[in-house]
Amino acid sequence: MTRSPVFGSPLFLGFDHLEQMLDRVQKSSDGYPPYNIEQTAADRLRITLAVAGFAMEDLQITQEDNQLVIRGRQKDDSDGRIFLHRGIAARQFQRAFVIAEGIEIEGAWLDNGLLHVELRRPQPEVRVRTIQINGKTRPMVDGQA
């Protein structure tokens, strides 16, 4: 299956790294664990993952460049136990979220099988810059005429 590049338009310049990130995140997500993303205020977000059966020491949250990565690894505690049916398996997961530059991860907590991660998105300052238009001479770029 081929898909058209999201940033393939000539109007998007220098965004190829974003497309690579999107591809990487899409390949790493298998739907487990389920999650919600909610906006809790104008500048705040919360990611909530359903991680029933995971203790705090089974979970790890890291920020790797512009990705928030949440990993879970349960220990297999079936030593000496005989299961007639095992529907609740110790399952590992890795869930990655691409976060925009400037988003701050404020903290996380585990409550009743739900892992909550708080994010703050500061309001960007508006930047306006006037570009001078020269006559027939081309502007110097890195020492080149």
What tens-digit pLDDT sequence spans the chain (145 residues)? 455 566 667 777 777 777 777 776 666 667 889 999 999 999 999 999 999 889 999 999 999 888 899 999 987 777 788 888 888 767 899 999 989 888 999 999 999 999 999 999 988 788 999 988 888 777 666 666 5
Domain span at residue 104 reads: 30-78+87-120
Prediction pTM value = 0.68
Q: Does residue 51 fall inside a structural domain?
A: yes
Span between the terminal Cα atoms of the chain, in Å: 45
Q: Does residue 23 fall inside a structural domain?
A: no
Q: Does residue 22 fall inside a structural domain?
A: no
Q: What is the pLDDT of residue 83?
A: 84
Q: Does residue 18 fall inside a structural domain?
A: no
Q: Does residue 141 fall inside a structural domain?
A: no
Residue with tokens 């409550």: 111
Contact between 92 and 72 (Cβ < 8 Å)? yes
Q: Does residue 127 fall inside a structural domain?
A: no
Q: What is the CATH number of the domain that holds 60?
A: 2.60.40.790
Q: Does residue 105 fall inside a structural domain?
A: yes
Per-residue DSSP letter, 128: -
Give dist(CA 37, CA 35) in Å, integer: 7
> How many domains in the chain?
1
